[in-house]
Structure 1
């Protein structure tokens, strides 16, 4: 199949392109680096010509409330319109676990808007909702740091390796559209403050983790199950220690 991967030069997208290519598909990376811009529509029609499937793993360059909403709303509208014109038969989107359970402003709210647009379109679709990636753990710790301490809420957390997210997205893209979603998560569920306490120790990072029930996550106040799967779930096999190479 000819499968166009929007965001196909990024961290997850490049892995998806590689996996699809290894399975015999014509996987085409599409991003601003290849002349395709979903926010402006530049290059979309040419990129989607002849595509049976489109995978969207693109991400906003800014997580500021207005900017992230504009990115997902505008780029998704442009992408779906171009897919309809090209006769694409399956739209696959990577989203986040919890986006629809606790929508609001910020990143989670923008992803909820993206999902709603996909569901209302005429194109058969599949939405893969992933938990947080191991690759972003250090960035989360840095963003949660105040006065030299890392403030983390004691909520359920089940992060996953980006490699396993890419595998799940690739397999969904090869199959029949779900016209719904599935969730993917790592093999271990822990409290988020405990995860970061152990992670900082593994990094030999001297910062202390402070348990703070009011700590925000991308601007969101977290319930116990906001960040973990509650629906049909694909569980990965790579633990965080495996991923670190410990």
Structure 2
């Protein structure tokens, strides 16, 4: 009997990472969920080399642990400084990184600066890699709406979104991780593109939220301005299967719309 392939999922207990772990395991992988819960600290480097020993693939599904300016700007680069040497030492054959569609066009946004640095470190590492840039998740529409709300009005950017179900983004990550590295970027997006205003208002309508959504040319996204097509791919490499309507009737969608934390 052939030995099972081993994968390490960084951020393996986060909202995305836990789903990546489960799907990889369901496909027969031996998976280690790496996080501080399992003795892996990406900033100090503690446990990183041990976690990767014997692994073939590393999937990086980490996110920032805090949202202050310093953490947003430096977390990913500091983590990469520990991840990459450990990956080289372990002979990792494929380093898969979850990133964001359009992130490279937003260097004026602090969070984007951190993700750009992460991507650059991976590209220059010498470890075979694939960067998977996903659009925003359906699951985050409510959080985004709250960020734009003052009183009973959500004033959103004059821009487009093509959100995807988190389960579809995870399936894309696992498919990529199971295939040979391309040393390049793939994008995953949902099947429908529309304006911020349309998406947020649809979310309000589904949840019975009495807020109103309007488009404002003054609205900032994560502290910076967007062009109309900053957050949508020119042509998605992978299109998620679930429409917004289908997602809204799924177990995950129903839970999110009911205000239940699905992380």
Normalised to the residue count of structure 1, the TM-score between the two structures is 0.96
Query: How many residues are aligned here?
Result: 246
**Mapping for residues 60-99 of structure 1, pairs under 5 Å:** 60-99=64-103
TM-fit CA distance, 1:234: 0.6
Distance change >3 Å, CA 195–CA 232, structure 1 → 2: closer
Equivalent of residue 223 in structure 1, options 220, 227, 246: 227
- In the alignment, is residue 116 of structure 1 matched against residue 120 of structure 2? yes
**Mapping for residues 199-218 of structure 1, pairs under 5 Å:** 199-218=203-222
- In the alignment, is residue 131 of structure 1 matched against residue 135 of structure 2? yes
Normalised to the residue count of structure 2, the TM-score between the two structures is 0.90
Tell me if structure 2 keeps the 8 A contact 1:63–1:106. Answer: no
**1:75 and 1:8 mapped to 2: Cα distance?**
15
4+ residue segments displaced more than 3 Å? none
Tell me if structure 2 keeps the 8 A contact 1:9–1:30. Answer: yes
Between 60-69 and 40-49, the greater mean CA deviation after superposition: 60-69
Tell me if structure 2 keeps the 8 A contact 1:154–1:192. Answer: yes
Tell me if structure 1 keeps the 8 A contact 2:98–2:131. Answer: yes
Aligned to 1:177: 181
- In the alignment, is residue 105 of structure 1 matched against residue 109 of structure 2? yes
Tell me if structure 2 keeps the 8 A contact 1:64–1:106. Answer: no
Tell me if structure 2 keeps the 8 A contact 1:160–1:236. Answer: yes
Gaps of 5+ in 2: 251-263
Aligned to 1:28: 32
**2:65 and 2:94 mapped to 1: Cα distance?**
26
Equivalent of residue 238 in structure 2, options 230, 234, 238: 234
**2:210 and 2:42 mapped to 1: Cα distance?**
42
SS at structure 1 position matched to 2:85:
helix
Equivalent of residue 42 in structure 1, options 33, 43, 46: 46
TM-fit CA distance, 1:104: 2.4
TM-fit CA distance, 1:232: 4.5
**1:64 and 1:227 mapped to 2: Cα distance?**
23
Gaps of 5+ in 1: none
**1:137 and 1:232 mapped to 2: Cα distance?**
20
Q: Any idea what the Cα deviations from partners look like across 1:106-154, whole Å, max 9, x if unmatched?
A: 1122111111111111101000000001111111111111133111112
- In the alignment, is residue 4 of structure 1 matched against residue 8 of structure 2? yes
Tell me if structure 1 keeps the 8 A contact 2:131–2:186. Answer: yes
Q: Any idea what the Cα deviations from partners look like across 1:186-238, whole Å, max 9, x if unmatched?
A: 01101111111111111101111121022111112110111101244211121
